[in-house]
Amino acid sequence: MSSAVSISILISDDHFVVREGLRSILRREADFTVVGEAANGHEAAIAHAKLRPDVTIMDLRMPVCGGVEAIQKIRAADPAARILVLSNFEGDEDIHAALTAGAMGYLLKHSSGDQITPAIRSLMRGKRWIPQEVADNLASRKRGEILSEREREIVRLLVLGEANKEIAAALGITEQTVKSHVKNILAKLQVRDRTEAVTVALRRGIVHLPEV
């Protein structure tokens, strides 16, 4: 089934246990070789430049430098890089960001283990690997409902519990303008108030909780 050519793989995940698990799973395929590990996006970009693996398995949400940034860096240096995202998170924003950054595959961490190997082989054949579950999630992202950069900025401050007046001061705009943005955000996210907007934004991966 597998070709005679060895497939070199770079693992990027901040959790030691997950890296071990991936090594263990990948070891079972005779033609797979884990050539390196990275614990954050920065390390991943450096490791990729040095090792030029056939496939990179990438977690999103890593300290120092997130997965999406890492994907962008890697693809900028090597547009042919094949990156398989392996994430806990199913927010459409995360998925969309990863795919537009150039990821070729997207797996959820709680997916059964026998999906990783076929996903890697799919990428090696130049084919994308997007599970139906993930595709559905992305499809539910209605076009035109994506927040603009400014709106995401506002949401980031909403998460911190800032009042409109404080947001206005922070951004150097008027409270009325903030109200406008908040109104548009509420409409786009289809929520009733700013509190719900925060939880929906968090669930969809539009913003993340600030690190402790």
Q: Judged by CB under 8 A, does residue 197 bind a copy of itself?
A: yes
Figure out which of the listed residues 2, 3, 24, 176 binds DNA, where binding follows CB under 7 A: 176
Q: Which helix (H) or strand (E) holds 180?
A: helix 175-189
- The CB density around residue 180, as the number of other CB atoms within 10 Å, is 13
Shorter beta-carbon distance to DNA: residue 103 or 168? 168
Q: Judged by CB under 8 A, does residue 30 bind a copy of itself?
A: no
Q: Which of residues 63-122 bind a copy of itself (CB under 8 A)?
A: 86, 88, 90, 109-113, 116
48 binds, among DNA, a copy of itself, none (CB under 5 to 8 A by kind): none
Contact between residue 19 and residue 37 where contact means Cβ atoms under 8 Å apart: yes
Name the residue with tokens 């800032």: 162
Q: Which of residues 112-171 bind DNA (CB under 7 A)?
A: 144, 146, 148-151, 163-165, 171
Beta bridge partners of 36: 10
Q: Judged by CB under 8 A, does residue 14 bind a copy of itself?
A: yes
- 53's CB contacts (< 8 A; 6+ apart) are 8, 9, 10, 35, 36
Smallest distance, Å, CB 17 to a copy of itself? Answer: 4
